[in-house]
Amino acid sequence: MTHSSSERGLDPFARQRGLSGFGAAGQRALAGASVAVVGMGGLGCPAAQYLAAAGVGRLTLIDADHVSVTNLHRQILFGPDAVGRPKVHAAVRALRLIAPGVDVRPVAARLDAGNAHDLLAGHDAIVDGTDTFTARHVIADAAEDLGIPLAWGAVQGWHGQVTVFTREARMRDLFPEEPGLDLDTCDGGAVLGTLCGQVGAAMATEALKAVSGVGTTLAGTLAVVDARNGRWREIPLAPAATEPREPAAASAVGSARAVRVGSAREATAGA
């Protein structure tokens, strides 16, 4: 397929560059930015796709898993021909077709406490698309130590959540310890594929705002989506200085898990 003469030389970011408050400076910031996407699952795939299409200069994709048939309804960078291949290599192939100018680097390794700082250092933002609480705590702790904003999301069934963790709005403030819960794995949980796209795209938006400096991120706020009833709501995560801090509890977490937070439990019930 070839481009018509009228399409040659057009700026692929023209519509984005034209956004109020974004402009050429915002696009330059994206081009000079580096974002790490940890976990190329239902959240990491759409997030990486939109980050690449937006013109982020460098993407690092971190995941040790291989593509399975049951991934395909929600992990949109993969088709049937990718089944059995390492996710990061299949994702790199897809992203280079979408955005050939982006430097996409695969890391076929499982991020853990021993390698997190080395793998995440030097990035301007991190997107957490992992599916266990252990991995999420490791990523959040490393992001806090390194001073890197962390775009975080979770989905389960018809419900999803998105926020941004920073040194001022920390994951450990909400979840000091891993909950002692016996839960199914991500692959065993039911989830709406398109909801993964919604939440993953929202995570990408938060990462784009963080690296461009345009707009206000969700740091300190949990955005909750009920896809079944078509509703979004926002829950403050940081209490006012004059109010006592209420404990937070998690019912589940991961790319197919949901979160219930302190006094906001009723608002997110059923997530």
Active site residue 45: no
* Extended strands (E) in the chain: 34-38, 58-62, 103-107, 125-128, 150-156, 159-165, 221-226, 231-236
Question: What is the dihedral sign for C-alpha 218, 221, 226, 230?
Answer: negative
Per the CB < 8 A criterion, the answer to whether 247 and 136 are in contact is: no
| Residue 271: partners with Cβ closer than 8 Å, 6 or more residues away | 156, 157, 159, 160, 161, 224, 251, 258, 259, 260
8-state DSSP, 86: B
Q: How many CB atoms lie within 10 A of CB 35?
A: 28
Phi and psi of 114, rounded to 5°? -80, -25
CB–CB of 144/98 below 8 Å? no
Given 148, 151, 162, 186, the catalytic residue: 186
95 and 47 Cβ atoms separated by less than 8 Å: no
Is residue 4 packed enough to be buried (19+ CB in 10 Å), middle (13-18) or exposed (0-12)?
A: exposed
Q: In whole angstroms, give the CA distance from residue 96 to residue 79.
A: 15
The four Cα atoms 197, 203, 204, 209 give a dihedral, to 10 degrees, of 150
Positions annotated as catalytic residues are: 186
